[in-house]
Amino acid sequence: MHDFPFRAGLIAWLFVATVSISITRSIATEPPNNALTAIDVLLLPDSTMVKLAKEANDQLREVYPEGFALDATHRPHITLLQRYVRTKDLESVYTAVKQVFNREQPYGWELEATGYYYLNFDNTGLAGIVIRPTPQLLKLQQAVIEAVAPYAEPNGTAAAYVTSPENPDINEPTLNYVNTFIPERNGVNFNPHVTVGVGPLDFVEKMKAAPFNKTKFTVAGAAVFQLGDNGTAQKQLWAWSIPTAR
């Protein structure tokens, strides 16, 4: 009977400690209110385009081995929108984007690759395969822009991207590219493309000028990725579930 106060006190202490640990863990796992994530709302191409992109990537890496390979962390894709969004609102972003894809149904759309282009990123050429813009693509992009707009913020930093201890930095052209995507790369300025890698400026200029066999392919999926350096689709955050009844 005399140990009742001790037991009661111990139980109370354990309760307080458990609640404290739970709150601490919750705070540690929840992102800060001002945290941003750099996202890419994108379309995934079929195997025809993936093969074409990897062939171009092989050419680039022959002359510029330090360039990135197209792999699981550098997926060939067609960007619809790149933006900084509030990390705490990511689930709402996925819901909003899902509604757009469910309505527009881009799976199976036929698109056409028409040639190469490149951007000067830190004195290297970031090369891509140009996709002919279509009314469907322009409409889809605008719908995605409007869906994501309520959750977007400007001026993201490297903290918004996928980085690693070995590669902790994001180059300035990438930061600026995402920050200015709207209004510089939508509507009449939309340049749909599949990024294929980086190489010396003179080499990518020759790729752009060389004859190109126009190639048709189809849309195989859609997703939201977190961006890495050079605007690569580094980490899949969400994927559209393709409707089975088509």
pLDDT of residue 222: 98
Tell me if the bond preceding 200 is cis, omega within 30° of 0: no
Q: Do residues 22 and 41 share a domain?
A: no
Residue spans of alpha helices (H) in the chain: 4-29, 47-63, 90-104, 135-148, 172-179, 181-184, 201-209
Q: Do residues 26 and 36 share a domain?
A: no
- The helix-helix angle for 47-63 and 201-209 (nearest 10°) equals 140
Residue 54 carries which side chain, given as an amino acid letter? K
The reply to whether 109 falls in a domain is yes
Q: 3-class DSSP state for residue 93? A: helix
pLDDT per position as a tens digit, 19-73 = 444 444 433 455 577 899 999 999 999 999 999 999 999 999 999 999 999 988 8
Higher per-residue pLDDT: 167 or 206 = 206
pLDDT of residue 19: 42
Residue 63 phi, psi dihedral angles, 5° rounding: -100, -15
The reply to whether 225 falls in a domain is yes
How far, in Å, are 18, 32, 172, 173, 220 from residue 169 at the CA level?
38, 21, 9, 12, 32
| CATH at 88 | 3.90.1140.10
Q: Do residues 93 and 213 share a domain?
A: yes
The reply to whether 45 falls in a domain is yes
Using pLDDT thresholds of 50, 70 and 90, give the confidence band for residue 3.
low
pLDDT per position as a tens digit, 10-21 = 444 444 444 444
Q: Do residues 100 and 154 share a domain?
A: yes
Q: Do residues 188 and 66 share a domain?
A: yes
Residue 18 belongs to what domain range?
A: 1-30
Least confident of 2-11, 26-35, 181-190, 191-200: 2-11
Structural domain total, the chain: 2
Read off the pTM.
0.84
The reply to whether 80 falls in a domain is yes
Q: Do residues 155 and 233 share a domain?
A: yes
pLDDT of residue 31: 59
pLDDT of residue 18: 47
What would you report as the CA-atom Rg of the chain, rounded to the nearest whole angstrom?
23
Using pLDDT thresholds of 50, 70 and 90, give the confidence band for residue 185.
very high
pLDDT of residue 72: 84
Q: Do residues 23 and 48 share a domain?
A: no
Q: Do residues 88 and 21 share a domain?
A: no
The reply to whether 244 falls in a domain is no
Least confident of 34-38, 70-74, 194-198, 236-240: 70-74
Q: Do residues 16 and 78 share a domain?
A: no
Residue 9: is its pLDDT beyond 80?
no
The reply to whether 246 falls in a domain is no
Q: Mean pLDDT across the stretch 108-133? A: 95
The reply to whether 46 falls in a domain is yes
Q: Mean pLDDT across the stretch 144-151? A: 98
Q: Do residues 23 and 84 share a domain?
A: no
Q: Do residues 46 and 56 share a domain?
A: yes
Q: Which residues have C-beta within 8 Å of that of residue 101, sequence separation ≥ 6?
A: 222, 240
Q: Do residues 26 and 41 share a domain?
A: no
The reply to whether 245 falls in a domain is no
